[in-house]
């Protein structure tokens, strides 16, 4: 996902940037991007720390058996 933001800066009396205003669509896209990034980081952490994996079909069969 490529983010192309068009920020508007809020400055103080000295011209120092103190805040940023972006449109709501950019804000929502930014939140979605951050959520995706967080999910990717969680997956990487799980892969690094996992001691073993259960094949998907085996996991799915177990869920069906349990009625989930």
Beta-carbon contacts of residue 9 (< 8 Å; ≥ 6 apart): 17, 19, 20, 21
More confident residue, 4 or 2: 4
The end-to-end CA distance of the chain, in Å, is: 33
Per-residue pLDDT tens over the stretch 13-54? 999 999 999 999 999 999 999 999 999 999 999 989 988 888
Whether the pTM exceeds 0.75: the reply is no
pLDDT of 1 reads: 58
pLDDT of 58 reads: 94
């Amino acid at each position: 996902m490529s983010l192309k933001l068009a920020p508007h800066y809020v400055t103080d009396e000295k011209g120092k940037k103190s805040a940023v205003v972006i449109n709501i669509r950019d804000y929502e896209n930014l939140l979605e991007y951050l959520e995706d990034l967080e999910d990717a980081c969680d997956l990487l952490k799980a892969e690094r720390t996992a001691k073993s994996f259960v094949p998907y079909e085996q996991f799915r069969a177990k869920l069906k058996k349990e009625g989930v």
